[in-house]
Amino acid sequence: MNKTKKRIAALVLLAALVVVFFLVYRHFSPRPQAGSKHVSVEVVDAEGASKVYETATDAEFLSGVMDELAASTDFSYEGTDSEYGLMITHVNGLRADYVEDGAYWAIYVNGAYGEYGADSQPVTDGDAYSFVYESAN
């Protein structure tokens, strides 16, 4: 096989791998539930004090619920986009910056540690989400 053919074969193989990865993503990525859903969002601050917000939403992802709550209640949040999605830095005005505070906002879904960021966590009817201020130390 000459050099050009080898290069074309390598490019085709790489492109095929990209397609396979994309199909795996399409097949296995979390799917949001359509329609109105009733969910709760709990905020647990550094002292362990809890505040719960109940809402009905059509949001597909948790960040959409957070935006709706921020527009209609005293819930607030701030965050930055990163390669891993939305990194939440403030909830209800309380900062949890890993570098500055040695703390972070952990997301729990129905009591279990969340596997996704807020902008990729699908919203399902009946879910209970918690934002918990957790110290790294």
Partner 1 sequence: MGMMLAALEAVKRALDFLPNVELVTLLFIVFTLYYGRKMLLVALAFTLLETFFWGVHNWVIMYLYIWPLLILIVHYTRKHAGHFFYCILSAAYGLLFGAMCSLPYLVAGGPGAAFAWWIAGIPYDIIHCISNFLLCLILYRPLTAALDKVKKSEEAS
The single residue among 32, 64, 85, 122 that binds partner 1, judged by CB under 8 A, is 85
**Among the residue ranges 44-52, 56-64, 66-74, 79-87, the one whose residues contact partner 1 (CB under 8 A):** 79-87
**Among the residue ranges 3-11, 55-63, 68-76, 124-132, the one whose residues contact partner 1 (CB under 8 A):** 3-11
> Alpha-carbon distance 32 to 30, whole Å?
7
The single residue among 14, 16, 52, 56 that binds partner 1, judged by CB under 8 A, is 14
Site string for partner 1, 49-78 (x = CB under 8 A): ------------------------------
> Can you give the binding site for partner 1, defined by CB under 8 A?
7, 10-11, 14, 17-18, 21-22, 24-25, 28-30, 81-85, 98-99, 102, 115-117, 120, 136
